[in-house]
Amino acid sequence: MQVIIGPSVIQGIAQAPASKSSMQRACAAALLCKGETLINNAGKSQDDRASLGLIESMGAHSSWLDTKTLKVSSHGIHPRAREVNCGESGLGIRMFTPILALSNQRIIINGSGSLLSRPIDFFEKVLPQVSVRVSTTRGKLPMTIEGPLVPADITMDGSLSSQYLTGMLMAYSAAGASNKTIRVNNLQSRPYIDLTLSVMKEFGMHLPENRDYQEFFFPAPGSVMQNNSRTYQVEGDWSGGAFLLVAGAIGGEVRVNGLDLKSTQADRAVMDALEICGADLSVQERQILVRSNNRLSGFVFDATDCPDLFPPLVALASYCEGQTTISGVNRLLHKESNRALTLQEEFGKMGVVIHLEEDQMLIQGQRQLRGAHVESRHDHRIAMACAVAALRADRETSIAEAQAVSKSYPDFFEDLKAIGANVHSPYSLSNH
């Protein structure tokens, strides 16, 4: 699908989408915690649907009570299928693999699209330490596992993604880990581990002691999880909301509702970047007003713990006077695309000069961006970043494979249009 964005002055109120980080963790916890779970503000992105498919394959039942409320019933892990599919969800493959390994059955794990090219050899190193047989296809999907996972004292690498640790923490908890320690070297994206532990706590799961993010010690569990019912509220998504906030900073005025300033989501740090660069901000409880001005300045920002902010921050930096330096580029190698190179090349088409120097990205701000034909590379965040940057370009910008936004924010273009953006397409903007 191609979407065309024309120069726009935006003004209006937008609702942040549901957080897929929160939603997918809730799906995993609902599978592991026997009983009935009501998930409010449940998301419907492609990644969210992939997680629902996974827990259904593992024995859970789910049904929509209304457009925003999902009921999940579970009796624990009882596989209905010998092969499961994670779609294109990086969190899905990394979090659910240890959880699926709690079963004693042989399970084939597959995926689609860009997930098929992402390395997963991590599991070949770690899962055998917890009595799980594993084989990959030259370090990639499809992968076969056979448990059951038996908690043990292990050491794992946290430098690639915290999502691997999220899966291990949930699996250890569900397996009743007792006096076992997971040691982690060089853990990245610590706020996402805070989110994982927060979800586990809300679901009443057996929690580890967090020893400065270097060790997670599971004491003897006080009691085994019993059948009960619970309600979980999915947070508004700071990752998707960041694009709306940046749109306001460069293209007009936007009130974004539904974002919790006390959230543990790492991408809440977009507020720091907006403040540093001089954006006009007015903050109230769960409502943030952002207005554009002509005084935006280049900024220095460390995105190591929040790499998903690179795309919206590049769009923001493109309109900031002077140079912006964002560190954490090494975290971008294994996303839906190599985001560092993709951002450099696609924003280069719009006249933005981006230099990559080791772990840093240097962006030279421009007074005026050029409208151009850009490619999303089937990467949802690239599509959204280009759309936001196009709001103040000198002419129309066309975005190829714009349907990629469905991975995390299916209604993105509709929401952008609702606040006044000049958005059109030869096709329907939704349901792709």
- What are the catalytic residues? 308
Task: State the Cα–Cα distance between residues 151 and 24, nearest whole angstrom.
Answer: 23
Task: State the Cα–Cα distance between residues 392 and 8, nearest whole angstrom.
Answer: 6
Determine the angle formed by the axes of helices 380-389 and 310-317, rounding to 10 degrees. Answer: 20
Burial of 398 (0-12, 13-18, 19+ CB in 10 A): middle
Beta bridge partners of residue 63, listed in sequence order: 71
Q: Helices in 379-424 by DSSP H: which ranges?
A: 380-389, 412-418
How far apart, in Å, do the first and last CA atoms of the chain sit? 8
Which of 222, 288, 201, 285 is closest to 253 using CA atoms?
288
Task: State the Cα–Cα distance between residues 164 and 123, nearest whole angstrom.
Answer: 9
For 375, residues 6+ apart whose C-beta sits below 8 A from its C-beta are 346, 399, 400, 401
Q: How far is CA 242 from CA 14, 109, 292, 315, in A?
A: 12, 32, 15, 11
Which of 407, 310, 401, 385 is closest to 24 using CA atoms?
407
What is the CA 315 to chain-centroid distance, rounded?
A: 18
Burial of 395 (0-12, 13-18, 19+ CB in 10 A): exposed
Beta bridge partners of residue 37, listed in sequence order: 72, 230
Phi/psi of residue 398, each to 5°? -105, 135
Cβ distance 259 to 285 under 8 Å? no
The 3-state secondary structure of 212-281, one letter per residue: CCCEEEECCCCCCCCCEEEEEECCECHHHHHHHHHHHHHHEEEEEECCCCCCCCHHHHHHHHHHHHCCEE
Residue 314's region, left for phi above 0, alpha for psi from -120 to 50, else beta, is alpha
